[in-house]
């Protein structure tokens, strides 16, 4: 958040910067959607590329430029260098307990395997024993691309900037709910491009609304519980998308039908999100006010 010095300096800044400093969330959203919609109008960017699920340059650019770029540009305008350093530290915070890496990287594949075994019997286990080389030739490359090109940079904007600021004002659950609305709308142009139909895109938007809320709850929990690490939230996001991707864990390795995997993983996300919300009593890993100072001291040690 901008300090008093930055706020004082903004009084002597150009008018546009003053507006951004006073309304950073609005400025971020305007920038984000301007990039998202503007790039969707460039046909060359939406042509399928040799990326997971025939991805396109559009998806990369809206993540890197739209989400991360907008977050850092607005943070610089609103809070100056110290605010940018703070956002950078939180986005790249990797020195966290190993269990959070395990949850972010192994949790969704493990839950998917267990759920698939319950729903499909032993066939997913047989497929895993036969297709295990695809873990290294298909799933992990897909995960690496998601981490580097898509999901971690998305979380720079949606968790590191938007959720964190809203949480400071409104608490974690309200922040997750409000973030969901903008995260959900962010996907509309991509759905239109991928389906080629506004009707199908609208149907998909309806299907993913509740799972998107669950994902914001889970991402917020991981961010808070891992000591304000956007990286951990981004790794979870990338793992989820790599699990559901046609070249990822559930489809390529476990040999499950993609359409059914989509429904199953959406359901898993909703259940896990509900468990997290209830288990944390809506705090999503954020220490209670009377526990915040001891927790911060322990984190610094």
pLDDT tens digits along 37-76: 999 999 988 888 777 766 789 999 999 999 999 999 999 9
> Average pLDDT in the 135-150 region?
95
- Which of 6, 36, 39 shows the shortest CA–CA distance to 24? 6
- Which of 201, 228, 215 shows the shortest CA–CA distance to 287? 228
- pLDDT value at position 217? 98
Distance CA 7, CA 18 (A): 9
Distance of CA 1 to the CA centre of its chain: 21
pLDDT tens, position by position, 164-189:
999 999 999 999 999 999 999 999 99
User: ∠ CA 151-155-156 to the nearest 5 degrees?
Assistant: 120
3-state secondary structure of 138: helix
User: ∠ CA 190-191-196 to the nearest 5 degrees?
Assistant: 105
- Does residue 124 contact residue 140 with C-beta atoms inside 8 Å? no
Distance CA 280, CA 276 (A): 6
- pLDDT value at position 2? 46
- Which of 64, 61, 67 shows the shortest CA–CA distance to 40? 61
- pLDDT value at position 55? 76
Distance CA 267, CA 241 (A): 14
- pLDDT value at position 53? 66
Spatial CB neighbours of 202, under 8 Å, sequence gap ≥ 6: none
Distance CA 146, CA 125 (A): 25
First to last CA, the chain: 23
Higher pLDDT among residues 27 and 3, named by residue: 27
pLDDT tens, position by position, 20-36:
889 999 999 999 999 99
In the chain, DSSP finds a helix count (H) and a strand count (E) of: 17, 0
- pLDDT value at position 56? 84
- pLDDT value at position 287? 84
- pLDDT value at position 158? 98
- Label residue 139 exposed, middle or buried (CB < 10 Å: 0-12, 13-18, 19+): buried
- Does residue 93 contact residue 229 with C-beta atoms inside 8 Å? yes
Taking CA atoms, 163 is separated from 5, 155, 233, in Å, by: 24, 9, 12
Q: Does residue 289 have a pLDDT over 50? A: yes
Distance CA 68, CA 144 (A): 18
H helices of the chain, in order, are 4-10, 15-22, 24-40, 57-61, 70-91, 98-120, 123-131, 134, 140-145, 152-155, 164-170, 172-186, 188-195, 198-225, 230-244, 258-279, 292-300
- pLDDT value at position 49? 75
Looking up tokens 């559009």, which residue turns up?
Answer: 58
- pLDDT value at position 291? 59
Phi and psi torsions of 96, nearest 5° = -130, 170
Taking CA atoms, 76 is separated from 10, 28, 80, 202, in Å, by: 11, 11, 5, 35
């Amino acid at each position: 958040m901008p300090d008093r010095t930055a706020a004082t300096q903004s009084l002597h800044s150009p008018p546009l910067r003053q507006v951004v400093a006073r309304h950073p969330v609005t400025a971020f959203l305007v920038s984000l959607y301007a990039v998202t919609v503007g790039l969707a109008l460039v046909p060359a960017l939406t042509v399928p590329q040799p990326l997971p699920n025939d991805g396109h340059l559009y998806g990369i650019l809206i993540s890197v430029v739209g989400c991360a770029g907008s977050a850092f540009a607005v943070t610089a305008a609103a809070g100056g260098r110290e605010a940018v350093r703070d956002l950078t530290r939180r986005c790249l915070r990797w020195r966290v307990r190993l269990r959070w890496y395990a949850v972010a990287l192994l949790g969704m594949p493990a839950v998917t395997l267990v759920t698939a075994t319950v729903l499909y019997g032993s066939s997913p286990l047989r497929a895993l024993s036969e297709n295990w080389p695809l873990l290294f030739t298909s799933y992990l490359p897909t995960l690496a691309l998601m981490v580097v090109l898509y999901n971690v940079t998305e979380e720079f904007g949606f968790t590191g900037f938007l959720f964190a600021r809203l949480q400071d004002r409104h608490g974690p659950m309200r922040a997750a709910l409000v973030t969901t609305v903008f995260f959900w709308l962010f996907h509309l142009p991509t759905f239109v491009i991928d389906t080629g139909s506004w009707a199908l895109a609208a149907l998909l938007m309806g299907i993913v609304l509740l799972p998107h809320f669950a994902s914001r709850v889970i991402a917020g929990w991981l961010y808070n519980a891992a000591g304000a690490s956007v990286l951990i939230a981004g790794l979870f996001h990338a793992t989820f998308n790599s699990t559901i991707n046609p070249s990822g864990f559930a489809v390529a390795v476990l040999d499950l039908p993609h359409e059914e995997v989509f429904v199953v993983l959406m359901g898993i996300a909703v259940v896990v999100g509900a468990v997290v919300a209830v288990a944390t009593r809506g705090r999503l890993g954020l220490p209670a006010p009377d526990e915040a100072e001891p927790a911060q001291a322990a984190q610094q040690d």
